[in-house]
Amino acid sequence: MKNTRRDFVKRSTMASAGLVLTPSLESKGMFNIFNEKKLKVALVGCGGRGSGAANQALQADENIELVAMADAFEDRLTESYNNLYEKYKDTGKFSVQEKNKFVGFDGYKKAIDLADVVILATPPGFRPAHFAYAIENGKHVFMEKPVATDVPGIQKVLKYAREAKDKNLKVVVGLQRRYQENYLAALEEIKKGAVGKLVGGQVYWNSAGVWVRPRKPEYTELEYQMRNWYYFNWLCGDHILEQHIHNIDVANWFLDEFPVSAQGMGGRQVRTGKDHGEIFDHHFVEFTYPSGAVISSQCRHQPGTYNRVAEQFQGTKGFVSTNDAAAAFLYDLEGNEIGRFENTSGHNPYQEEHNRLFKAIRENTELNNAEYGAKSTLTAIMGRMATYSGEVIKWEDAMQSTLQLVPDDMTWDTPPPVLPKADGFYEIPTPGKTKVL
């Protein structure tokens, strides 16, 4: 049956109003020991995204309090503490005592120990160890994407994703498009056959790039890399992983499968200074899926170039276009618009992630994003492997990688995994020479 624009809008409105529920969100009517309890929350990683996530958590539930904070750097923790304290000091939701502010590499354990729910928002290289400790100790988790920077980290997250399920712990991963109305509305139409079977697509994160934090004379090499973490693979994973994972995850989600292989190209032409560490400034990757679908992925960090953060997919009966400006459009094969959704309600997917997490805890409904979070992270890592090496990277080969980028049990005396050369520049991957497997 042909989907009309009116039908699409109507169904989208029902979805946005919460009238169309996925099975994972339906109440199972189970008794929950947390239903009346005041939930204690710990924030691990007090940068901008961690502080934002803490703010959203404190707005997601009325019977909740932030009790502990941890960060590698005292100045970053203090700034986050002051901002959150100023906003929540009179609400009864902010109870972080001085003794529960933890600075250093091992502070996460002390913070997690004090909480029922933990927010994990450090640079992603530390995520597997922090997630493992949280699940081992029976904590519900919100963790930012990506969930690792190397394959051993992926394997650890998958292991503890299973353990979280066995322990009935709730886990949300910050791939917020899966909680965003325009994406949910578009996927609903795809499942109803509006554009036929998806056979390919293109996903984009092209922008000017992000901050650079200059080296200061008092920094050790490790402190410099920790503060300028975006430009080091052991901490960040490159921008194909740290940002473009959002669009890659949409492809995996809409296709309902993960790629069997990746091949691509990339390099750095603009972001080439000593402050830019070891990562590329552009990647182009083709991901091939078990169904035969091919997704072309491109991400670029180059000022003064065309900006686009979006996705589009081709089906046997039409195509669909989505973007982070809260819009989705469907077309038939002749290019006629057959559906659209534009969110004008101000719905915030970042807030929705936390609303769903605390609702699931209160009502004891199933919610665990860790497996798809890990597999979409691996997809982006495969893309990085393909552009760095110039080789075709197969999923099963990537999963066998034992290359661990992040040292275990780090302290401020731990040597950084990468060091600058005598001229101050870092080694840059070279396609055709760099080995990734």
Q: What percent of the chain has pLDDT over 70?
A: 92
Report CA torsion sign: 352, 353, 355, 359: positive
**Given this model, what pLDDT does residue 11 score?**
42
296-310 pLDDT, tens per residue? 999 999 999 999 999
255-273 pLDDT, tens per residue? 999 999 999 999 999 999 9
DSSP letter for each residue of 80-140: HHHHHHHHHTTTT-B---GGGEEESTTHHHHHHHT-SEEEE-S-GGGHHHHHHHHHHTT-E
**Given this model, what pLDDT does residue 419 score?**
98
Model pTM score:
0.92
* Cis peptide bond upstream of 146, omega within 30: yes
23-39 pLDDT, tens per residue? 333 333 344 557 789 99
357-408 pLDDT, tens per residue? 999 999 999 999 999 999 999 999 999 999 999 999 999 999 999 999 999 9
User: What mean pLDDT value characterizes the chain?
Assistant: 93
CB under 8 Å to 19, separation ≥6 — which residues? none
Whether residue 282 contacts residue 208, with contact meaning beta carbons closer than 8 Å, is answered with no
- The CATH 3.30.360.10 domain(s) of the chain lie at 182-345+369-400
131-179 pLDDT, tens per residue? 999 999 999 999 999 999 999 999 999 999 999 999 999 999 999 999 9
Q: Does domain 26-177 have CATH number 3.40.50.720?
A: yes
**Given this model, what pLDDT does residue 32 score?**
52
Mean pLDDT of 236-247: 98
331-362 pLDDT, tens per residue? 999 999 999 999 888 899 999 999 999 999 99
Q: What percent of the chain has pLDDT over 90?
A: 90
**Given this model, what pLDDT does residue 15 score?**
40
Radius of gyration in angstroms for the set of CA atoms belonging to the chain, rounded to a whole number? 22
Q: Does domain 182-345+369-400 have CATH number 2.50.20.10?
A: no
178-236 pLDDT, tens per residue? 999 999 999 999 999 999 999 999 999 999 999 999 999 999 999 999 999 999 999 99
- The CATH 3.40.50.720 domain(s) of the chain lie at 26-177
Residue 46 has pLDDT above 80, yes or no: yes
